[in-house]
């Protein structure tokens, strides 16, 4: 399948990270929608279905990414969601998707630490899109 057939929603309130992530995804061949807030992402999700979503954990709220994961999976259960964050680097807190309990409340398909290389991100996206 052609990567350009897939639209990836990226929501992050860090303009530098958002720009770099979108640039890397587009360089890999994907179409992207770049949004800078939880509110913008919620509005997009209410009207459009992305093929995959990448959400920052902390935007307007400390749990913005969790809320977006929940709302995306509720409306589009088959849309893969990546939760990207630097929270463990910044706070020492860490999350994982290793147990069923964690997957049930986090509702993301992958949890990635920010700073992931472009090739790694592309590999994770391809796995989730089954390319």
* Domains in the chain: ranges and CATH: 3-129 (3.40.50.2300)
pLDDT over 50 (residue 90): no
What six digits make up the tokens of 99? 């147990």
What pLDDT is stored for residue 82 in this prediction?
94
Q: How does residue 107 score in pLDDT terms, banded at 50, 70 and 90?
A: low
Q: Is the pLDDT of residue 98 over 70?
A: no
Considering the entire predicted model, what is its pTM? Answer: 0.86
Sheet holding 7-11, edge to edge: 31-35, 7-11, 52-56, 81-85, 110-113
The 10s digit of each residue's pLDDT in 39-76 is 999 999 999 999 999 999 888 888 888 899 999 999 99
């Amino acid at each position: 399948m052609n990567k350009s057939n897939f639209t990836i929603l990226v929501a992050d309130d860090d303009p530098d990270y958002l720009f770099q992530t979108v640039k890397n995804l587009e360089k890999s061949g994907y179409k992207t929608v770049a949004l800078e807030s939880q509110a913008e992402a919620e509005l997009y999700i209410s009207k459009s279905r992305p093929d995959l979503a990448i959400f920052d954990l902390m935007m307007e709220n400390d749990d913005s990414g969790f809320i977006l994961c929940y709302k995306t999976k509720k409306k589009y259960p088959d849309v893969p969601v990546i939760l990207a964050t630097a929270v463990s680097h910044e706070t020492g807190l860490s999350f994982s998707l290793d147990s069923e309990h964690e997957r049930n409340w986090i509702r993301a398909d992958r949890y990635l630490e920010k700073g992931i290389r472009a090739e790694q991100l592309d590999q994770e996206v391809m796995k989730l899109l089954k390319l």
